[in-house]
Amino acid sequence: MAGKLFYRERTKYADASHMPRYILVATYNLDLKVYGQHLRMSELKAIADSTGAELIALPRGEQSGQRRRDDWESKAS
């Protein structure tokens, strides 16, 4: 059985800052140690390919930072 890697997009990042945008939240059925905090999608895919794991994006909640920012920007317009 292949393992699973659960990740989510970070809430604080600048659009053109060239910073890693994803954080690995959990692993399932894998013997894996991760030392980096923020990862790029290419790094997540490389880890998944080499371990045979499936990448699973965690959904954002209703109270996520993106929704609040979108609401604030729509009120400011």
DSSP code at position 5:
E
DSSP line for 17-42? S----EEEEEEES-------SEE-HH
Rounded to an integer, the average pLDDT of 62-76 is 61
Please say whether the beta carbons of 35 and 49 come within 8 A: no
pLDDT tens profile 53-68: 999 999 877 666 556 5
pLDDT at 20: 77
pLDDT tens profile 11-50: 765 666 667 789 999 999 999 888 988 899 999 999 999 9
With a threshold of 0.75, does the pTM exceed it? no
